[in-house]
Every structure is written in C-alpha cells, then in structure tokens.
Structure 1
C-alpha cells in the first residue's frame, strides 16, 4: 500500500486540498498552478529542469553512496568523462537528499570513486569545465552544472 500525502495550498482567496500518492499530488498541484498562473505552461516549456526522479532511479546501476558517505562506482563506464559526470551527479543528488553537506567534491574523492589516477581526473575535469558540464567552485572542488545533468540524462538513456 502506497503512503498517502495530504497537501493544502492557499493562494490569495483560493484554497485547495489534495490527497493521494506522490504522483497524484504532483499532478494535482501542477494543474492548480496552471489555473492560477496560465502562462506557467508556456514558461515551463522554455525552461529545462532535470528529471531528478529518473536520475535517482537510474544512477544506482552505475554508482552509489556507502553508509559512510563515500561515493563508489558499481559498474564501469566506457570513459573517464562519463564516470566523473555520474559521480558528480550522485554527489548532487546526495546533497539534495540531505545525505551530504555539499554538492561539490574534490578531485581526489572523484579519483578514488572511479579508480583513476588523480592527474587523469584533473585533466578531464579541466575539459569538462571548458564545456560547462562541470563547474570549479573552489581550488580542487567541482560540481555538476545543469548542462552536465542534461548530459548525464543522455548517458543514462543510452544516447
């Protein structure tokens, strides 16, 4: 039996209550928002947002978070670039879920996670930064960008 969620939304003089599983609540809330803000549908077509649910469902096939909080690869990928992008995505998702305090990670941690030399990882990170799929946030620390998340979606979909 799926857990039920109850949600109450108020906007100006409008008040709605929804009850159902996560998907039903999301659909009902989206419809409510479209009613109060009709241009939202058009705007949403212009703005790409990562499909976090799909990423969370697919990424464990390739990499996971240990109970200690370490990032590990469980399946080898064809390229260092792909492995780095997936590990950075896992760090991002772990941060969003409250399992890590930061979405950025050091090149040494990436190196250990994907079992590649740190120099190889740093060189690949430099190239990924040039293509805006990865952002250098501090000396030796990197995080995935929206463009990088889009690339990861393509990798996970086999494209």
Structure 2
C-alpha cells in the first residue's frame, strides 16, 4: 500500500473517531438532562404524596387528641352542658370537630362517617359513645404507595 493511501485512511479514521466522540458527548448530555428531569418529576410527585399523608396524619392526631381530652374531661369532671360547650369552644378554635347538637346529644366529628356522641340529661353529663373513635384504624386510613419507577424515555 502506498503511504498516501495510509495517510488518507489514518486521517479519515481520526475524523470519524472525533465525530463519534462528539456525538457520544452530545447524546450523553441529552440523556443526563432527560434523566434529571424524570428524577425531579418522580421525586416531586412522591414527596408531595408523602407530605399530604403526613399532614393528614397530623390533623388526625390533633383531632384525636382533642376528642380524647374532651372524653376524659367530660367523664372525670362530670361537666355540665354549658361547661362542656365552653370547653369545646376553648379547645376547638379552628372548628375542626364540627359540633352538632341535637336535643340532649352533642356529636363531634372524628373523621369521615365517625362521630363521638356526648349525652346530657337535665343539663348534666350522662354518657359518651366513643366506639367509632376507638375503632378507627389509622394504618388503613393513611398509606403511601411505592414511588413510581423512573421513566427515562423521551416524551
């Protein structure tokens, strides 16, 4: 083989190799950017889901604490209806317990389809029905699903 042909083949080979390296680096940056976007979207969605569950758990705990405190105070101190209503007003400034009075019975909300009922006779405390509150299963109410797998395909 002629040395001119060898030089030409060598030059073409170098140009092709440089072109392949440039293409590889350009594609690498595209894949990296695509992966970062997918990662950010997936982690943001999962973080939002977890924060919603944590906020719901905090609200559930706060409401549960208020209700158990009212149950304890009503049973241990034998509160009158007026004292009970004043205690609800003092503890539940955000109106999350949604008190509903129907005759001698006051119902406080402890969640969806969950009521704690306080009964008063003659203005004095008679009893409390908290079966719905004690049967609530927080583990069934609050769950976080597995994060979605990362999808690095171009959209």
- Relative to its length, the structure with more strand (as a share) is 1
Structure whose alpha-carbon radius of gyration is higher: 2
Normalising by the residue count of structure 2, what TM-score does the alignment of the two structures yield? 0.29
Which structure carries more relative contact order (alpha carbon 8 Å, separation 6+)?
2
- Relative to its length, the structure with more helix (as a share) is 2
Normalising by the residue count of structure 1, what TM-score does the alignment of the two structures yield? 0.29
